Amino acid sequence: MASIYDVAKLANVSTATVSAVINGQDKVESKTRRRVLAAIKKLHYQPNFYASNLAKSKMRLLGLIVSDILNPFFGEIAQSIRQEAQARGYEISLADTQFSRKELVSAVKRMVGMRVAGLAIMTTEMDSQVLEILRASRVPAVFEDVGTVDETISNIRIDYEGGIYKVVKYLVDLGHKRILFVRTYPENTTKDDLPLLSINLRTTAFQRVAKQFKQAGIEPQIVSYSGRGPKAGQEAIHKALDHCKGFTAAIAIADPVALGVLRGLHQRGIRVPEEVSLVGFDNSYLCEFLCPPLTSVDIPRRGLGKMVVDCLAGNVESKEPGRELKLETNLVLRESATRPKGFRILRREKLT
């Protein structure tokens, strides 16, 4: 990890000059300032905001970055990781990105500057700068889906395809043929934006699984809409009802999206599950309180939290190398799916 002395040496200045540039003091000449900033960028140097504390004792602080703390899935992940971390004697510093790659990079820089012992990045988005910063700083890190394993970086892959397979098989066994996949993605991005890896993984999983059930007569459809969870789900299902071929079941890419789908179907006078069966993904705590209670794919939060902290603590305390792990998913059955009523095509005209 680069130090202030490395920056000073590369820029051919004193450490006091480097400190003055970092702290925004205007006593440094423009030419010298540019040289120092260039050295900082080249070395990926991060100011040590907690140097005085570190001089006294080793920091037992883990950083945690999520995409959206208001999303129940990310909130529940944060709670699980915090509980596991505290059991191992660590505290958590939390940040969220609002699905912005720019905010992700900034959050990583702040965490590295805080000298966290390790960093958990549980985000949908990714940016190549993140890996550059982590490798330069040698801060142990663990990702959900979007990471590349090396000496200090671990990656936990969620078994999306296994979860989607269980959903589709369940719906096919009930008698459904026309199955809609409701995909949403953050505003100011496109549905094909590669950094939104977990969204693409869930979508690709549905497409692959649908092909496996082709002989069973499956007619898969995908509807996409840009926006935040429930609202985007609501608008997506309106779009599907107006433009997609009649369907008897819908799979939402995430539970907040399913909440919006449920609302949209209700607005159009379509009953769940009597006329359209609905399944969510993530199995957030909200599922059992919806009407009807939502069948959903479960990503085990406790298991994920334990994997994250075990990876970080193993690297921090025992210098264990990064590793690739897989987290299995399960289907939790509730009351939002049933047999299609006479296999009817349920396309309806838009209400006025």
3-state SS string for the chain = CCCHHHHHHHHCCCHHHHHHHHCCCCCCCHHHHHHHHHHHHHHCCCCCCCHHHHHHCCCCEEEEEECCCCCHHHHHHHHHHHHHHHHCCCEEEEEECCCCHHHHHHHHHHHHHCCCCEEEEECCCCCHHHHHHHHHHCCCEEEECCCCCCCCEEEEEECHHHHHHHHHHHHHHHCCCEEEEEEEECCCCCCCCCCCHHHHHHHHHHHHHHHHCHHHCCEEEEEEEECCHHHHHHHHHHHHHHHCCCCCEEEECCHHHHHHHHHHHHHCCCCCCCCCEEEEEECCHHHHHCCCCCEEEECCHHHHHHHHHHHHHHHHHHCCCCCEEEECCEEECCCCCCCCCCCCCCCCCCCC
pLDDT at position 307, please?
97
- Predicted TM-score (pTM) of this structure: 0.80
pLDDT at position 191, please?
47
pLDDT tens digits along 237-279: 999 999 988 899 999 999 999 999 999 999 999 999 999 999 9
For residue 52, pLDDT over 50 is answered with no
Domains of the chain: 4-43 (no CATH), 51-159+300-328 (3.40.50.2300), 160-298 (3.40.50.2300)
For the segment 203-210, the average pLDDT, to the nearest whole number, is: 96
Report residue 49's pLDDT band, with 50, 70 and 90 as the boundaries: low
pLDDT tens digits along 14-30: 988 988 888 777 788 99
Percent pLDDT > 90 in the chain is 72
pLDDT at position 21, please?
86
> Comparing C-alpha atoms, which of 202, 174, 192 is closest to residue 299?
202
Mean of all residue pLDDT scores within the chain: 89
For residue 101, pLDDT over 70 is answered with yes
For residue 12, pLDDT over 90 is answered with yes
pLDDT tens digits along 290-333: 999 999 999 999 999 999 999 999 999 999 999 999 999 999 99
For residue 195, pLDDT over 50 is answered with no
